[in-house]
A and B are shown apart, each in its own frame.
Chain A
Amino acid sequence: MKALRLKLFQETACYKKPFASKVAETYPLPPYSTVKGMIHALLRADRFIPMRLSVQGEYEAKLLDYQRHYFFKKRDVAAFPLILDGIQDESFSYDANEITTMPIYTHLLYRVDLLIHVEAEKEVLERVIHAIETGENHYSLGRWEDLVRIDEYKIVQVDELDEEKDLRYYAYIPHHLLDIDIKHIPYELPWKYEVVNGVRKWEKVNVGYVRKGTTAPEGACIDEDGELVFFHL
């Protein structure tokens, strides 16, 4: 089969876990939903386009950033925080019944290298490439401010793996491939949602986050340049 292989770099990234309240925790690699989001943004898609993803990568360090977050107590407030700076000699305050602020620790990943494979209709992959080559917005992954540098985009042939091979990167390996006897950190990753009665209902994928150097499980795939692939579906 054919897939589009992307090599990406981010200087900082935060793939925020839902429900982490006091501390903004990050997943170690972008979850499938985040990658899907970026591909859909590239395609300017307004509906779900079927695709299979494989996410691998590595980061250099994790850093803690202390940030002020604004919390809205009501859906409708008179004021909105824009930027508190740049206004000379104004001490600033909000109506405490409407907005509160709290400093929050944010976990940031520093210097992230990503290796992503996207398998979809040929025509979809071609549109993604076209979007990359004519892009007018800088792309980000995770938060809007975490820029992505695209180092490579290439259509590659992907086949079944038939030898023992060790991971070159850390990887999300989905449960249907994972050998649970090996050391891994289990994650339930968001993939896509449907709106049911006005509420988003997420479809999750169970994966293991596996260290680099681990031997790839049987049933994994490999691309024409010898990069391992673990499709999530």
Chain B
Amino acid sequence: MFYAKSETKETIREHTDRLLDNWRLLKDSYGDRLIRVNERMWELLRLAIEYHDIGKANTVFQNKIRRAIQEELLETDCDANVPHNYLSVGLVPFDQFNLTKEERRLLTHAIGYHHERDKLPDKEAIRHVLESDLYVQREAIAKHMNLPLVEKLSFRFVDRLLRRYTIHDGEPFWDYVLLKGLLQRIDHAASAHLPVESDIHQNVGVYVRRYMENKSFHLNGLQRFTASHTHKNVIVIAQTGMGKTESALLWIDRDKAFFTLPLRVSINAIYERIRYQMGYEAAGLLHSTSAFYLAEREEENWEAIKQQSQQLSMKLLFTTVDQILKFPFYYRGFEKELASMANAKVVIDEIQAYDPKIAAMLIKSLEMIKKVGGRFMIMTATLPTLYLDELKRRSIIDEEDTVFGEFIDSQNHRHRIQLHDQEITEGIEDFVRMARSSQVLVIVNTVRRAMELYERLSEMASDVPVHLLHSQFTQEDRQWLERQIKEFNEAKTNGVWITTQLVEASIDIDFDYLFTEMSPLDSLFQRLGRCYRRRVIQGEQCNIHIFTQNVSGVPSVYDEHLVRESICLLKDYEGKILDERAKIELVAKLYERERLKGTSFLREFEDALSMFDHLDPYEMSKKEAQRKLRDIQTVPIIPRRIYDEIAHVIDECRRCRDWRERIHLRMEIEKKTISVHRFLAEKCVSERLSKPFDHIYIADVEYDFDREKGKGTGIRFDASLSVFY
């Protein structure tokens, strides 16, 4: 009797059989999609499965399990604790399988590293356990596993393990990634008693079509285009409001897919639609706060969804790029995530919204996905030429298997722009005048500038409703304000909303006039989309006013050179209609490599690509890779007064034993935090909360917001608490 798991009391044979079931499931369901995996590779994978845990038969490990399940311990004088994955390799009878030299190396590395350890294999310890313990029990192990074992021990495999596969090994490297990655997927699923792939026969395309029929919608050009190219990689440029999500789902069709978006809010919104409006149950959700979201929705089997989402076994997974596309970091265990892409499609929505470093990672990840045989779709409102060129340069997109579509409505004109060679404060009179009879949206580049305008307007015009929305409110106040602005917009109330680039994404509003500070064109055109979003402009009046002098947030938020170039490019449209095609062409021009020379944007992009191209593999852990991606620019803080109000909730949460309750309390606390820039936080934080909230800091500043009146500037860095507080 040899055990593999203590919690389920499974034997090694039983556990191995679970893996074999998953192997069959994977082969039968997606075998034809895994183009790099031929019959020979499937066979190698089967061998890797058969032998992967055989090293667990060593007595030290067996006694560890026996202790846990309170069974009698076995006699042994061997006490070396050697990771079983290294030992397993030593028992494989390589000579009996007619392997080529390369196949032998693949099998050695897949088994030897199916767990990544911090410790390198130590030959002497491995020799000791194999010789004095495992080899002695050879017959019993062979009988239990019903497998042939090695006849004469050899330890050359340890030297082979020390030389790990890298990209320099050429094609075998990708075989290794698949073999090891699939073994880990199958192993982890089997350990969790889950199928390695779920809802294999679900087809999201069917649901979309049904949903659209019920609503009597017809497929538009974009949707017909993607639906007819399900076997290709697709790049589409399409303006907002074109039904991009549906078109992506139609492209996904019967396949397994990962759908990524930059913002968690938008991911939740899409998940909501697919899961509850279309009734598609094979969808999962995975991001840093997805558990909160699902718990809040009171989703019945949210735990199962969470588990399967984490296993990447969901048929359709809505997620953020940091969850699944960070394998260009080659962290220990990257093979599992990369191998998950091999039989799937990946959708990258709004690629222009990522900063250049992340964009570099995405481009690198597409290059790797292509290598393992996955497919991808890039959807975006504007595609920086720089990115497109890089995709071509690396042959990630080519004539043969990539289609390219642009879907723009140039018929309906929505914006006429006027450039003002002034600072935005000089437009205050105009905002007020127009806000008496219409809805005015003001967008500026920094929170500080937004507060400034808000205070001046509040002082001068008591008859005009003035509202403020930016990122430095507590999460709950910010959510409340986001709802307010939508309601205000729908109710056609007259007044002014002063906001920051926060509204560029994910807030669906349609104002009459936009007054904005200049920003790089891609961000500027997103702002334009919040004005006359679904209307056609009549007459000669400009509905967009852009102020180009003393713009805030340069260079802290936007590159100076990019802003300057953007102004130049817009000059020709002064007082004219700016249609959708022109917008796309201008952004393409702005982001040409030539024009970007000397910008921090280009430098960051190129440095990141070069880093990914020359990284030493297996140097970092998965956690470290995740940390590199986190937005290290901002930290969550709680103003001291608010902290005092909720201190008891924090204590309660620490005491709470019921995890459901704990999640709710945790959310209560998170709601009170404000994300602020690190350098701002450094000036005012005085202490940090203790675990598990040690990512949150307490700031000794005033917080000004009155939800009754809907008034207040949010956090006040200029007002420190008085010493008597």
The stretch that binds A, out of B156-164, B221-229, B574-582, is: B156-164
Residues of A166-199 contacting chain B, CB below 8 A: 166, 179, 181-184
Q: Which among B101, B105, B123, B163 is the interface contact of A213 at CB below 8 angstroms?
A: B123
Q: Which residues of A contact B158 (CB under 8 A)?
A: 215
With A215-B154, A215-B155 known, 12 other A-B pairs at CB within 8 A are A166-B155, A179-B156, A179-B159, A181-B101, A181-B105, A182-B163, A183-B163, A184-B163, A213-B123, A215-B123, A215-B156, A215-B159
Question: What mask results when residues 169 to 204 of chain B are scored 1 for a CB within 8 Å of chain A, else 0?
Answer: 000000000000000000000000000000000000
- Chain B proximity of A211: nearest CB distance (Å): 8
Give the 10 A-B CB pairs with smallest separation, nearest first.
A183-B163, A182-B159, A183-B162, A215-B156, A214-B159, A181-B160, A181-B105, A182-B163, A215-B155, A215-B159
CA distance A213 to B123 in the complex (A): 8
In the complex, are the beta carbons of B160 and A182 less than 8 A apart?
yes
For residue A204, give the distance in angstroms from its CB to the closest CB of chain B: 22
Cβ–Cβ contact B105 & A164, under 8 A? no
Contact indicator B162/A182 (Cβ below 8 Å): yes
Cβ of B123 and Cβ of A166 under 8 Å apart? yes
A residues near B105, Cβ cutoff 8 Å = 181
Contact string, A72-96, partner B, CB cutoff 8 A, digits 1/0? 0000000000000000000000000
A183 and B158 CA atoms in complex are apart in Å by 10
Contact mask A210-221 → B, CB, 8 Å, 1/0? 000111000000
The total of Cβ contacts below 8 Å across the A-B interface reads 30
Quote the shortest CB–CB distance from A166 to chain B (angstroms): 7
Within 8 A of B (CB), among A6-54: none
Chain B residues, CB < 8 A from A164 = 154-156
Q: Report B221 CB to chain A, min CB distance, Å.
A: 54
In the complex, what distance in Å separates the CA atom of A181 from the CA atom of B103?
12
Taking CB atoms, residues of chain B closer than 8 Å to A213 are 123-124
Residues of A within 8 A of B156 (CB): 164, 179, 182, 215
Task: Please give, as numbers and ranges, the residues of chain B lying within 8 Å of A181 by CB-CB distance.
Answer: 101, 105, 159-160, 163
> For residue B155, which residues in chain A have a CB less than 8 angstroms away from its CB?
164, 166, 215
Complex: A213 Cα to B158 Cα, angstroms: 10
User: Chain A residues with Cβ under 8 A from B154's Cβ?
Assistant: 164, 215
Contacts of A184 in B (CB 8 A): 163
Q: Which residues of A contact B160 (CB under 8 A)?
A: 181-182
Contacts A/B (CB < 8 Å), 20 sampled = A164-B154, A164-B155, A164-B156, A166-B155, A179-B156, A179-B159, A181-B159, A181-B160, A181-B163, A182-B156, A182-B159, A182-B162, A182-B163, A183-B159, A183-B162, A183-B163, A214-B159, A215-B154, A215-B158, A215-B159
B162 shortest CB reach to chain A, Å: 4
Q: Mark A93-123, 1 if CB is under 8 A from B, else 0.
A: 0000000000000000000000000000000
The distance in angstroms between the C-alpha atoms of A183 and B160, with both chains bound, is 7
CA distance in complex: A183, B166 (Å):
12
Kindly state the separation between the CA atoms of A164 and B105 in the bound complex, as whole angstroms. 19
- Which residues of the other chain, A, contact B162 by a CB distance below 8 angstroms? 182-183
Complex Cα–Cα for A49 and B101 (A):
39
Within 8 Å CB of A179, what residues of B? Answer: 156, 159
| 1/0 contact string of B139-164 vs chain A (CB within 8 Å) | 00000000000000011101110110
Task: Provide the residues of chain A in CB contact with B101, threshold 8 Å.
Answer: 181
Q: How far is the CA of A179 from the CA of B102 in the complex (A)?
A: 12
Note all chain B residues with C-beta closer than 8 A to A182: 156, 159-160, 162-163
Residues of A within 8 A of B159 (CB): 179, 181-183, 214-215
